[in-house]
Structure 1
Amino acid sequence: MSDFNRGIKNEAFLEELRRLAAEESWWRDVLSDRSLIIALRDEYLNVYWQGQSIFRVSFVNGRVAASTHPKYLLNPDVSGQISLVGGSFELKKLEATMLTRSYEGPETLDKLKRAAGLFSGAEKEGVHAIATSNPSVVDVEIALSANGISDVGSLPRLDLAAFEAVTDHIDLVFWEAKLFDNPQLAPRSIVVQIGKYQRVIEAFRQRLLDSYRLVAQNLVELSKMSGSVRQVSEAVQQVAAGRVQLSVSTSDIGIIVYGYDADHQRPGSKGEALKKELARSLSELGIDERRVRFRGDPKGLRL
């Protein structure tokens, strides 16, 4: 965690991204597609669709370099049967069409998204829906390392980070998101997991704040590149401009539970009972009950 960094400082990299945004390019298509999430890393970007990184964008030898996983190049429009003859699949008829071989505009981007969606799941789809509904979200798929902190071990990635306006400052809030039927949702397990996150945040608070101030600046720049198609919240703009203090504390961690039907939302239901139990358990860690969010359908949930 001592080497945790987020954001792009390399002005040459940003200038090349601006140039690509001003011409017909895959990058302009990405910027114009608000359903995609652009996550700032340490001098590179990930472009996410439903938890799948369909592009990794870096700066190599003075040029913007983009790459993707081979599985996203499988053409989702290919259909029909492939014969197995003598132990070999007859692929000759499909060789020209089974892979996406060149980028030909937004229709290619759509193919990559549809191919990536095959490897997603309901939990990641929910995280994606929440992130794209909230201009205050500044990061997804957040890997925190506990290097140098005893008895923490490896940690799963946090799902979301968002800015939250308070009276005289902005809070950096991390969110864990889980499906209602996820077996890891047991309150005691969640308490242990969030307790570990708290220790990491306490130990490396300044590194987190420095990184996400830079991320805010980058997100504002990406918004400008997109012609304001990509919206950022007022809180992000204020942090980017240095007009307000950004802070984070061990109480700035929440949990979002979703993916359950109306029967589990009624008073006295299993969902209501679990929400109360989680709120009670997390209060032991100094986390307010407003950080425990339950919603049947994650679409449109506001952080």
Structure 2
Amino acid sequence: MSDQTSVFRVLSPGFLDALEALAERQGWWQDALAHPDLILAVRREAVNVYHRGASIFRVTFPNGTIAATTHAKYLLRQRQATVRLDPAGGFGIDPASAVWTDYAGPATLAEMLRAASALAGLEKTGLHRLLRNAPNVIDVEIALTGSTPGNTTTGNDEHNNEGAEADAALLDGTEVAPPTQRQDRLDVASLEERGNPDEAWLVFHEAKIAANPELRAAPDNVPAIVEQVARYTETLTREADRLVAGYQALCRDLTRLDALRQRVQGTTGVSEADFWRRDPLAAEVAEGKRCLRVDPRPRLVVFGFDANQRNGILGGHLNRLQAEPFSLAVRAIGNPGAGTSNAFRRL
């Protein structure tokens, strides 16, 4: 496998070794690995630690040393206090009491997650619940950037965009997307088998809350989601070979990170029921036991509605999307909860 095909989804061996060594010591990385409600995503020589769509930590390896960054908005201390405004316009508050200036263990991480939760919208919150019940998911927040067909690159977007902090590099790893380019994002990549024990399929998903106006349009118009999925399909078809190579590399890194995470959870008192477990397909792809194939047809996952809504106007919109001429692959989930089954399994 050449560097050109794998660069967008790979960690260097030295980086992985350093992450394993750091996990032996108490601190933010060990706490992140132990926490059952965080999602790790592999990037190009980086790991993003997500909670409800927010990149709580971005972990990199500059000059052979692990470095972590976060956004200041996640460091607000969640304390209820009245602050007096003096006649001169000054707020009577000690900044050290308002934000975390040092990482002080699990209490700091817990408040960072609360801050992220307060900023997360309904769509990201619902998607997070679905991801927690989907062991076959191998990637999230996947950025596609393109202005015209055949000119698709990737955008690097660390912590600047609300609800889209990922700097995922799906294709050629271009650092910054020119402002004239359009940036699309796929929410989820998963693995599934389809009866052939020698194959695994890489499937991409776009998740939308039911209230999203992109799902509906007047009878004479085309819903925005249809054109969006068409763009995705074109890109995934064109880049299938590169995706296969890159995601096999990603599965190798994920398998090693998953083993590290389970080891940390086992030594830090995490309940076995909360252990992070990924579908064995990822390890089988990593080891070359299964040939990875790309499904270029993204699926649409719709959530955030009740039975009455599904049987009413919403159902009509979803039926229209599934019928010709649009023929989208749609999975209607309802309201995500602890008992929600895998929303990203095979239709």
Partner of 1:260 in structure 2? 305
Q: Which moved more, 1:229-238 or 1:189-198?
A: 229-238
1:298 Cα deviation from its structure 2 partner: 2.2
* C-alpha contact (below 8 Å) 1:6/1:214 kept by paired residues: no
Structure 2 match to 1:130: 130
Aligned-residue CA RMSD (Å): 2.1
* One-letter amino acid of the counterpart of residue 191, structure 1: V
Matches within 5 A, 1:1-303: 5-76=7-78, 78-86=79-87, 88-92=89-93, 94-146=94-146, 149=149, 154-168=182-196, 169-186=199-216, 188-227=223-262, 229-251=275-297, 253-266=298-311, 269-281=312-324, 284=327, 291-299=329-337, 300-302=340-342, 303=344
Q: Deviations over 1:66-118 (max 9, x none)?
A: 01011111111x222222223523233x3231111211221211111001112
| Residue 56 of structure 1, CA deviation | 0.5
Report the Cα distance in structure 2 between the residues aligned to 1:109 and 1:128, rounded to whole angstroms.
18
Distance 1:89 1:133, change over 3 A: farther
Displacement of 1:137 after TM fit? Answer: 0.6
Instruction: Specify the code of the residue in structure 1 equivalent to 2:132.
Output: T
The structure-2 alpha-carbon separation of the partners of 1:190 and 1:54, relative to structure 1 and needing over 3 Å to count, comes to: same
Cα deviation for residue 5 of structure 1 reads 4.3
- SS of 2:97 mapped into structure 1: coil
How high is the TM-score relative to the length of structure 2? 0.79
Q: What is the Cα deviation at residue 9 of structure 1? A: 3.5
Distance 1:66 1:113 in 2: 16
SS in 1 for 2:182: coil
Structure 1: runs of 5+ lacking an equivalent = none
Distance, in Å, in 1 between the alignment partners of 2:118 and 2:65 is 31
Quote the offset at 1:283 in angstroms. 5.3
Runs of 5+ consecutive residues of structure 2 not aligned to the other structure: 153-180, 217-221, 264-274
Distance in 1 between the 2:139 and 2:102 partners? 29
Shift of the 5–294 alpha-carbon distance from structure 1 to 2, 3 Å rule, reads farther
Aligned partner of 2:271 in structure 1 is none
Query: How many aligned positions are there?
Result: 292
Distance (whole Å) between structure 1 residues aligned to residue 205 and residue 149 of structure 2: 21
Question: Percent identity, aligned pairs only?
Answer: 32
- What is the distance in 2 between the residues matched to 1:221 and 1:43? 15
Q: What residue identity is the alignment partner of 1:279?
A: Q
1:117-174 deviation digits (Å, cap 9, x = unpaired):
1211100011111111111111111101337725985242111111111122111111
Once residues 147 and 181 of structure 1 are traced to their aligned partners in structure 2, the CA distance between those partners, rounded to angstroms, is 27
Q: Equivalents in 2 of 1:20, 1:115: separation in Å?
A: 25
